[in-house]
Amino acid sequence: MTAASQMIGPIVASFTQVIAVAGSGLILIGLLRKVRAHLEGRVGAPLIQPLRDVRKLFRKERLRPDQATWIFPLAPVVLVATVGAAVAITPLITTHPAMGSGSDFFALIYLLLAGSTLLALAGLDAGTAFGGMGSSRAVTIGALAEPALLVTILAMSAAAHSSNVPAIVHATLSDPASVATPQRLFALGALLVVIVAEGGRLPVDNPATHLELTMIHEAMVLEYAGPDLALVSVGEAMRLTLLLGLFVNLVAPWGIATTTGAAALAVGLVVLVAKVAVVGAALAVFEVFTAKVRLFRVPELLAGAFVLALLGVVSGVVVR
C-alpha cells in the first residue's frame, strides 16, 4: 500500500461511515416503529416514513420563538455536527477510521454529550414551561447516567489496557473469548442500560408520546419546527444508530473491516447494517413488552447500571 492510499483510505472510510449512518439512521427509526407496529397487530408506516417526514419538514417555513436567542438555532446544527464527528472517528465499518488514535472512549462520549447539552440549553432558551421541564428531566437523567457510563468505560478500557475504541475492538477481535468474561459482560450490560437512557428509549423515555406528564426528550424539542426540527430528528436518529453500532461492535466485532480497502469496507458496511438492524429490532421487541418506569424510579435503573459497571471493574481486577 502506498503512502498516499494509507492517508486517503481512513478518510474515505470515515466519509462512508458518516454517509451510511446519516442515511440509515432514520430508516432505523422506521424499522423500530415497524417492528413495534407488527407486534401490536398494526401494519405500521413504511420504513422510509421518517425520511419522508424529514423531507417535508425541510421544505417548511423556518419558524422560531420571538424570545429565543442565538442558542436556539445553533443547537440542532451543533447536535448534527458533533454526532457526525463522533461517527467519523468511531470504528463502525472499519477499525481504521480517520484520526483513529484520537478515537478515545471518553472523547467520543463527551462529544455526544456536547450536542445533548446544547439541546437542553435550547429547551430552556424559548422560555416555555414544557421546554424547561424537558431540559430539567433530560439533564437529571444525563447526570445519573454519567457515573455509570464512566465506570463502564473504565471496565472496558481495563480489559483492553487502552481507552482507545479501535484498540478495544482490536483486542476483542484477537481474543474472542474475552467477550465472555464477567468483566466484559457486566460492562456491556451497564452500557446497554446507559444507551437506552441516553437514547431516550423505553423504559426511561417514551419516544412516541406527547403527553406532558411523561415526555422528556420530546418536551425539550417541543418549540422546534420546520427545518430546525428536521435537523434535530436527523441528529437524534444518527445518535441512536451510532450508539447501537458502537454497542454491537463492542459485543461482536466480527465482520468489521480491519483494512480500508474498498471490498473490505463494503463487507463491513453490510455486516454493520445487518447487526444494527438485528439489535434495533430486538430493542423494539423489548420496548413492546416494557412499560415506562416512573421518573422517580429511573435513578434505581441507573444505579443498577452503575453497580453493574462497578462489579465489572472489581471482577476484572481479580479474575485475570
Partner 1 sequence: MTGSAYAGALGLGAAVVLLCAVVTLWRRALGAIVRVLAVQGLALACVAMAIGVHEHDAGLIVVAVLVLAAKAIVVPTLILRVVRHDPASRETQPLVNVPASLVAAGALTFLAFAASRSVTSLVPTVVGRLIPFGLAAMLVGFFSLVTRRKAVSQIVGILLVDNGVALIAFLATAGVPLIVELGASLDVLLVVVVLQVLANQLRSRLGTTDLDQLVELHD
307 touches partner 1 (CB under 8 A)? yes
**Dihedral angle, C-alpha 219, 223, 226, 227, nearest 10 °:** -80
Neighbouring-strand partners of residue 312: none
3-state secondary structure of 296: helix
Question: 118: part of which helix (H) or strand (E)?
Answer: helix 105-125
303 touches partner 1 (CB under 8 A)? yes
317 touches partner 1 (CB under 8 A)? yes
Q: How far apart, in whole angstroms, are the C-alpha atoms of residue 82 and residue 80?
A: 6
Q: Single out the segment in contact with partner 1 by CB under 8 A; choices: 65-73, 78-86, 278-286, 297-305.
A: 297-305
Tell me the residue length of the chain.
320
The residue among 47 and 293 lying less far from partner 1, judged by its C-beta, is 293
300 touches partner 1 (CB under 8 A)? yes
Q: Smallest distance, Å, CB 150 to partner 1?
A: 14
172 touches partner 1 (CB under 8 A)? no
Q: Which residues contact 128 (CB under 8 A, 6 or more apart)?
A: 65, 222, 223
Q: How far apart, in whole angstroms, are the C-alpha atoms of residue 204 and residue 298?
A: 6
DSSP class of residue 104? Answer: B
Q: Are 186 and 155 in contact (CB under 8 A)?
A: yes
According to CB under 8 A, which one of 72, 186, 224, 247 is a site residue for partner 1?
186
299 touches partner 1 (CB under 8 A)? yes
Q: Single out the segment in contact with partner 1 by CB under 8 A; choices: 96-104, 175-183, 225-233, 274-282.
A: 175-183
Q: How far apart, in whole angstroms, are the C-alpha atoms of residue 65 and residue 67?
A: 6
The residue among 132 and 147 lying less far from partner 1, judged by its C-beta, is 147
According to CB under 8 A, which one of 43, 180, 263, 291 is a site residue for partner 1?
180
Amino acid 170 reads H
According to CB under 8 A, which one of 37, 185, 251, 252 is a site residue for partner 1?
185
According to CB under 8 A, which one of 28, 111, 264, 310 is a site residue for partner 1?
310
Q: Smallest distance, Å, CB 214 to partner 1?
A: 20
DSSP class of residue 94? Answer: B
By the criterion CB under 8 A, which residues form the site for partner 1?
A: 177, 180-182, 185-186, 299-300, 303-304, 306-308, 310-311, 314-315, 317-319
